[in-house]
Structure 1
């Protein structure tokens, strides 16, 4: 099995990077959609159905598959011999960042359900939460590249 993982490494790493990019794009954009959804809802401007369709498709068709692919490819990379040294700090900080990113993804999915019930958070809260993926991305990238 380890020989296959070593041979597939560049392909799995490429898939992982592409999935992470797609996932991050969704994590950046969905909270922004929520801001518009909440603020336009109060003003009675945009049709709510437009936001609901965009949010649903972004979450189900882009973010969920991207997150799953990033996780699977990431776990395959972790299982590849010689890639991760668990006696260093960086794999643990990256893992913490990925778990936090996954929690944020699930929080966004839960917020979508609340928005459909008219119980979502404020536009200000969604704006503030929109900063979280940037902080987590910085932690993850610095962990992997600098390997502290």
Structure 2
């Protein structure tokens, strides 16, 4: 199981790198007016999303393997809260896809300020999940 944990953590870190960087590209896309630069940023965002999606899937699969191996059991409310955090992270990932489609279709209505705030969501989710896993407050 140590190998599974190792690769689970590797894929989580890699997935989060994408979740931190993609909204930063959106900040630039939302304020860019040069068509060539927009095309470059849109290409970067699309490639990053296509790269980070399998990383997230692998992180989730290996997390499921660990969860099934160790089980939840009684008195582990922190794990239930962590799973909610993971679901919120998955929802954030899917929201990134929705925003990417809006940029691709030319229908984005959000400002760069919105995406600056949007960019903070994975940081907060990571902090929440880390506290739940390490501190196990309940």
User: What interval of TM-score do these two structures reach, taking the shorter chain for normalisation?
Assistant: over 0.9
Q: Supply the distance in 2 between the matched residues of 1:73 and 1:111 (Cα, whole angstroms).
A: 27
| Contact 1:30 1:55 (C-alpha < 8 Å) held by counterparts | yes
**For structure 1, which runs of at least 5 residues remain unmatched after alignment?**
1-8
Q: Residue in 2 aligned with 1:107?
A: 95
Question: Using a 3 Å threshold, how does the CA distance of structure 1 residues 102 and 96 change in structure 2: closer, same or farther?
Answer: same
Query: Runs of at least 4 residues of structure 1 off by over 3 A?
Result: 83-86
Q: Residue in 1 aligned with 2:39?
A: 49
Specify the structure having the higher radius of gyration (Cα). 1
**For structure 2, which runs of at least 5 residues remain unmatched after alignment?**
none
TM-score for both structures, normalised by structure 1: 0.87
| Contact 1:38 1:123 (C-alpha < 8 Å) held by counterparts | yes
Q: Residue in 2 aligned with 1:125?
A: 114
Residue 60 of structure 1 is aligned with which of 47, 50, 60?
50
In the TM superposition, residue 45 of structure 1 has moved relative to its aligned partner by 7.0
**Residue 13 of structure 2 corresponds to residue 21 of structure 1:** yes
In the TM superposition, residue 12 of structure 1 has moved relative to its aligned partner by 0.5
Q: Supply the distance in 2 between the matched residues of 1:10 and 1:52 (Cα, whole angstroms).
A: 38
TM-score for both structures, normalised by structure 2: 0.93
Residue 37 of structure 1 is aligned with which of 29, 38, 61?
29
In the TM superposition, residue 49 of structure 1 has moved relative to its aligned partner by 1.5
